[in-house]
């Protein structure tokens, strides 16, 4: 199944991207003996998801790594998102997990809990320039099962061109509240005569918004024990805010929200200039700006005074299989991906804003204005941010569940309070069933 040194083999697409207990039952922890580099020739395997641009960049990084370490060959394979997880689960169950794997926060606990991943904190990987709060996104019960390659932060995106066109000044995002957000959205709808709508949906379609609202109230979606700790009243409050904004005309209708969401990052209502405000990750700014052709700015989601709800979202991780026979070489490759300017000059921000502070600064001059704006925003909002608990095993479908209940609330099929209670109960059941 593996490729030759210069080629990439792609998995076929799969219908299901869930990780089950049975699929991982074949995993076992390898020896805890210290990993040592081999003097002889070694081949390590790499698996990742991504499109053509990522494949090309990854090949270039591998060539640079192999030139620096000629006794190590990296054999790589890639897939689309869903095919990747199906293929990885199958291979892991057969004790054939690739040495180095691209990992996502939603599935990290699923693999770690089954003993499929190595404690990378025991390996020789430099973490001096990665913030503790970023490293914590890859930890479960204090064990470093994954290293974040790229990180992102939650934001409100504003189409400055639209606000300028209708003579509306953007407020100070260091002090504004959700009431200010609503006033701004309503003003744009009113002054444009309905030609544009103030805002697209402002929460309920991704875990980032849910975590922000919860942390703003001193709450968390998940607790340290893997239980759902979300207070349903907070989710209901978020939905009620949006329902009120819909009623006043400041936010898209339920039908428009669904259509915008399904259109994706390059076709949604922010990308097509139909709304003035939307929520996104800071790393999505460039894609939105390119699609819209407009001047877009990143604003902090409102934060109560004295509360810091901001946190890092890893765009992706690197993990090493517990069954790997070449952990030292795998760690050397991960260190090269994370910490070398050679790798950074190739990847830039394709895998997210680099988690390594020095690397982030080193590539800044090579980036587009919007990528630089994304980095500046991230540096502005995340100092001191504490990482939320990693999504527990069984909860990887949280966004699909959240989206379903959000659409029910927006369509008037359920009240915010009833839907919030049902969401928490269903999510807890999913976690319990995975144990």
CATH of the domain at 65: 3.40.190.10
Based on the fold, state whether residues 252 and 108 are members of the same structural domain.
no
Q: What is the pLDDT of residues 156-196, one digit of tens each?
A: 999 999 999 999 999 999 999 999 999 999 999 999 999 99
Give the pLDDT of residue 307: 87
Q: What is the pLDDT of residues 260-285, one digit of tens each?
A: 999 999 999 999 999 999 999 999 99
pLDDT at residue 383 tops 80: no
CA distances in angstroms from 65 to 103, 114, 350, listed in the order given? 20, 31, 18
Based on the fold, state whether residues 32 and 106 are members of the same structural domain.
yes
Based on the fold, state whether residues 120 and 145 are members of the same structural domain.
yes
Q: Say if 179 falls within a structural domain.
A: yes
Which residue segment(s) compose the domain that 196 sits in?
Answer: 157-309+397-433
> Taking a C-beta distance cutoff of 8 angstroms, is the pair 353, 374 a contact?
yes
Question: How far is C-alpha 9 from the chain's CA centre?
Answer: 25
The residue-averaged pLDDT of 207-228 equals 94
| Separation between Cα atoms, residue 237 and residue 231, nearest integer Å | 10
Q: What is the pLDDT of residues 8-63, one digit of tens each?
A: 333 333 333 344 444 444 444 444 556 789 989 999 999 999 999 999 999 999 99
* Averaged confidence pLDDT in the chain: 91
Q: What is the pLDDT of residues 412-425, one digit of tens each?
A: 999 999 999 999 99
Question: How far is C-alpha 264 from the chain's CA centre?
Answer: 15
Q: What is the pLDDT of residues 134-156, one digit of tens each?
A: 999 999 999 999 999 999 999 99
Q: Whole-prediction pTM value?
A: 0.87
The residue-averaged pLDDT of 371-387 equals 83
Based on the fold, state whether residues 30 and 78 are members of the same structural domain.
yes
Q: Say if 228 falls within a structural domain.
A: yes
Based on the fold, state whether residues 185 and 230 are members of the same structural domain.
yes
Based on the fold, state whether residues 425 and 296 are members of the same structural domain.
yes
Which residue in the block uniquely carries the two structure tokens 């709450």? 219
Give the pLDDT of residue 16: 32
> Taking a C-beta distance cutoff of 8 angstroms, is the pair 292, 270 a contact?
yes
The token pair at 53 is 């641009």
| Separation between Cα atoms, residue 40 and residue 67, nearest integer Å | 15
Q: Say if 194 falls within a structural domain.
A: yes
Q: Say if 389 falls within a structural domain.
A: no
Based on the fold, state whether residues 174 and 282 are members of the same structural domain.
yes
Q: What is the pLDDT of residues 389-398, one digit of tens each?
A: 899 999 999 9
Based on the fold, state whether residues 206 and 276 are members of the same structural domain.
yes
Q: Say if 20 falls within a structural domain.
A: yes
Give the pLDDT of residue 387: 77
Buried b (16+ CB within 10 A) or exposed e, 170-197: eeebeebebeebbbbbbbbbebbeeebb
Question: How far is C-alpha 432 from the chain's CA centre?
Answer: 24
3-state secondary structure 313-359: EEEEEEEEECCCCCHHHHHHHHHHHHHCHHHHHHHCCCCCEECEHHH
Give the pLDDT of residue 388: 84
Based on the fold, state whether residues 357 and 402 are members of the same structural domain.
no
Q: Say if 391 falls within a structural domain.
A: no
Given pLDDT bands bounded at 50, 70 and 90, which one contains residue 250? very high
Q: Say if 1 falls within a structural domain.
A: no
Based on the fold, state whether residues 257 and 304 are members of the same structural domain.
yes
Number of structural domains found in the chain: 2
Based on the fold, state whether residues 134 and 23 are members of the same structural domain.
yes
The residue-averaged pLDDT of 107-126 equals 96
Q: Say if 2 falls within a structural domain.
A: no
Based on the fold, state whether residues 126 and 32 are members of the same structural domain.
yes
The residue-averaged pLDDT of 316-334 equals 98
Give the pLDDT of residue 12: 33
């Amino acid at each position: 199944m593996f490729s030759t040194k210069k080629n990439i083999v792609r998995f076929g697409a799969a219908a299901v991207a869930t990780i089950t207990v049975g699929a991982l039952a074949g995993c076992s922890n390898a020896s805890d003996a210290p990993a040592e580099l081999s003097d002889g020739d070694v081949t390590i395997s790499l698996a990742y998801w991504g499109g053509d641009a990522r494949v090309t960049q990854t090949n270039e990084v591998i060539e640079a790594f192999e030139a620096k370490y000629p006794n190590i060959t990296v054999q790589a394979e890639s897939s689309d998102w869903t095919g990747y997880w199906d293929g990885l689960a199958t291979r892991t169950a057969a004790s054939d997990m690739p040495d180095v794997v691209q990992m996502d926060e939603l599935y990290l606990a699923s693999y770690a809990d089954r003993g499929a991943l190595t404690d990378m904190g025991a390996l020789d990987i430099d973490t001096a320039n990665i913030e503790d709060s970023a490293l914590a996104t890859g930890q479960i019960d204090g064990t470093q099962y994954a290293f974040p390659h790229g990180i992102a932060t939650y934001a409100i995106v504003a189409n400055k061109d639209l606000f300028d066109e209708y003579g509306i000044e953007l407020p100070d995002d260091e002090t504004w509240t959700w009431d200010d957000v609503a006033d701004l959205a309503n003003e744009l709808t009113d002054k444009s005569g309905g030609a544009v709508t103030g805002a697209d949906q402002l929460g309920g379609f991704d875990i980032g918004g849910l975590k922000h609202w919860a942390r703003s109230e001193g709450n968390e979606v998940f607790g340290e024990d893997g239980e759902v700790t979300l207070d349903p009243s907070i989710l209901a409050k978020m939905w009620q805010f949006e329902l009120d904004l819909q009623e006043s005309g400041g936010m898209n209708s339920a039908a428009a929200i669904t259509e915008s969401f399904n259109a994706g990052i390059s076709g949604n209502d922010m990308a097509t200039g139909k709304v003035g405000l939307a929520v996104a990750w800071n790393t999505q700014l460039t894609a939105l700006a390119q699609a819209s052709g407009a001047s877009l700015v990143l604003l902090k989601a409102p934060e109560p005074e004295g509360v810091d709800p901001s946190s890092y979202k890893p765009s992706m991780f690197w993990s090493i299989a517990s069954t790997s026979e070449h952990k030292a070489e795998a760690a050397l490759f991960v260190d090269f991906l994370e910490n070398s300017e050679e790798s950074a000059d190739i990847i830039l921000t394709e895998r997210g804003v680099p988690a390594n502070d020095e690397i982030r600064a080193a590539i800044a001059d090579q980036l587009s204005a919007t990528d630089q704006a994304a980095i500046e925003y991230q540096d502005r909002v995340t100092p001191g941010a504490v990482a939320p608990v990693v999504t527990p095993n069984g909860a990887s479908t949280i966004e699909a569940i959240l989206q379903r209940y959000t659409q029910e609330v927006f369509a008037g099929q359920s009240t915010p309070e009833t839907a919030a209670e049902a969401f928490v109960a269903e999510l807890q059941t999913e976690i319990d069933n995975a144990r």
